[in-house]
Amino acid sequence: SVYSGAYAGAAVDPLWAFFSATAGQNGEVDAEELQRCLTQSGISGTYSPFSLETCRIMISMLDRQNTGKMGYNEFKELWTALSAWKHNFMLVDQDRSGTVEFHVLTQVIVAMGYRLSPQTLIAIVKRYSKNGRISFDDYVACCVKLRALTDFFRRRDSMQQGIVNLLYDDFLQCTMAI
């Protein structure tokens, strides 16, 4: 184009537009700001907006500096994960009700590559299902926790054998932060 380069700074990433409008001058968002940003972006589509609790755990999943906030790079990483999780949810939400049956959650978890015992899968389903169904918000909360706890565990499993030794305080910091 004749104008290529003339307005190089004017080409705005739509994600940046949502993020910067909410983040303001500090360049970060807290859980309430993230909730507004995600709602305004439309990432949840026709599903209900994300709860404040889900936004808190989204931030904790990527909050490497333990500030309780998220910068733009973390937001882009979250957006990529949310887009994939939404795609997977839409594949199994065949009636477009915004919820899926509890047994579908176990299938999705296995399809994501998690090798969990039946007891663990039952515990997850009990935690995230309401009246035998899982909402998109709860599904995302489950995905966030699975990813964050798996990342925490992998960082401590230096031999990648599925075994770690944890100090009680380390365990509490991880699980209470997520």
pTM: 0.85
Q: Considering the domain boundaries, does residue 119 fall inside one?
A: yes
140: domain range?
14-177
Residue 16 in this model has a pLDDT that exceeds 90: no
Query: Which whole-number Å values give the CA distances from 141 to 6, 60, 79, 97, 150, in the listed order?
Result: 43, 11, 14, 18, 14
pLDDT in tens, 48-79: 889 999 999 999 999 988 889 999 999 999 99
Pairing of strands 28-29, 133-135: unpaired
Q: Considering the domain boundaries, does residue 132 fall inside one?
A: yes
Q: Considering the domain boundaries, does residue 1 fall inside one?
A: no
Q: What pLDDT is stored for residue 12 in this prediction?
A: 64
Q: Considering the domain boundaries, does residue 5 fall inside one?
A: no
101-113 as b/e, with b when 16 or more CB fall inside 10 Å? ebebbbebbeeee
Q: Considering the domain boundaries, does residue 4 fall inside one?
A: no
Q: Considering the domain boundaries, does residue 8 fall inside one?
A: no
Q: Considering the domain boundaries, does residue 40 fall inside one?
A: yes
pLDDT in tens, 91-121: 999 888 889 988 888 888 888 899 899 999 9
For 40-84, the DSSP string reads HHTTTTTSPPPPHHHHHHHHHHH-TT-SS-EEHHHHHHHHHHHHH
Q: Considering the domain boundaries, does residue 46 fall inside one?
A: yes
Domains identified in the chain, total number: 1
Q: What pLDDT is stored for residue 3 in this prediction?
A: 37
CATH code at position 69: 1.10.238.10
Residue 1 in this model has a pLDDT that exceeds 80: no
Q: What pLDDT is stored for residue 24 in this prediction?
A: 72
